[in-house]
């Protein structure tokens, strides 16, 4: 007698395959032309992976990747649970969301008609796309530099890796947001810088009053 239960394993494999294919197709489209991607996606001309699903796919890889290298590099690992290390790559994305929320307030004053969710979507595409790929490649260097920060040579390479991540983040963010909001890139750049300065002021306050929290976030 032949069983007629659903072929759930095959269906699951197909679903995972579609998700992976959708992720890489979105990464390719956004990385090649962030401005064109932002315009086409926001107008409905391009179908891409949902921005939240997109960034969660990136975190599903970056979390274990970062935790693995953190345990390999640190001869005296902290007594924090493994889930804490797995969630650390989500911290920069959370910061990106906060900064983008502030950024949208400024571009709203400048006259944009786009809703905040569009600005947040672009920020998630940056975090989950080119920045995630570069973080995958350079993340081990940054982690090694943090663990061995007393070495000048190691600190230099770690600083260069962090600088590369920052440049990629800003270039893609400005290009995509400028196209989305139909504004000059210099205006978008100023709005981004003002938002980051505002975050810096807030972070300074937090570090003065809750240094242990900031230290834990900076630990890789």
Instruction: Assess if residue 2 is contained within a domain.
Output: no
Tell me the percentage of the chain whose pLDDT exceeds 70: 89
Assess if residue 1 is contained within a domain.
no
d(CA 84, CA 150): 25
**Segment holding 32, helix H or strand E:** helix 8-32
Residue 16 lies in a domain: yes
Task: Examine residue 176 and state whether it is found in any structural domain, yes or no.
Answer: yes
| Domain coverage including residue 97 | 8-218
What would the two tokens of residue 208 be? 């003065």
pLDDT higher for 89 or 36?
36
Q: State the sign of the Cα–Cα–Cα–Cα dihedral 199, 34, 169, 95.
A: positive
HEC profile of 80-97: CCHHHHHHCCHHHHHHHH
> For the whole prediction, is pTM greater than 0.75?
yes
Contact 149, 159 (CB under 8 A): no
Residue with tokens 């940054």: 142
Contact 122, 177 (CB under 8 A): yes
Q: How many domains does the chain have?
A: 1
d(CA 51, CA 116): 14
Contact 107, 181 (CB under 8 A): yes
Q: Place 119 in a pLDDT band, splitting at 50, 70 and 90.
A: very high
122-158 pLDDT per residue, tens: 999 999 999 999 999 988 888 888 777 777 777 788 8
């Amino acid at each position: 007698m032949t069983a007629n239960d659903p072929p759930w394993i095959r269906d699951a494999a197909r679903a995972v395959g579609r998700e992976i294919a959708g992720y890489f197709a979105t990464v390719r489209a956004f990385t090649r032309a962030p401005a064109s991607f932002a315009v086409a996606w926001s107008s409905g001309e391009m179908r891409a992976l949902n921005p939240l699903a997109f960034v969660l796919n990136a975190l599903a890889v970056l979390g274990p990747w970062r935790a693995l290298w953190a345990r390999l590099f640190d001869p005296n690992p902290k007594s924090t649970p493994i889930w804490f290390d797995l969630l650390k790559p989500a911290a920069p994305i959370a910061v990106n969301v906060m900064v983008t929320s502030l950024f949208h307030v400024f571009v709203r004053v400048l006259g944009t008609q786009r809703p905040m969710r569009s600005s947040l979507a672009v920020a998630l595409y940056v975090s989950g796309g080119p920045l995630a790929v570069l973080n995958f490649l350079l993340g081990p260097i940054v982690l090694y530099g943090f663990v061995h920060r007393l070495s000048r040579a190691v600190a230099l390479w770690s600083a260069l890796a962090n600088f590369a991540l920052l440049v990629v983040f800003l270039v893609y963010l400005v290009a995509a947001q400028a196209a989305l909001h139909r504004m000059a890139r210099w205006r978008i750049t100023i709005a981004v810088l003002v938002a980051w300065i505002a975050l810096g002021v807030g972070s300074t306050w937090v570090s003065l009053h809750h240094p242990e929290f900031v230290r834990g976030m900076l630990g890789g």
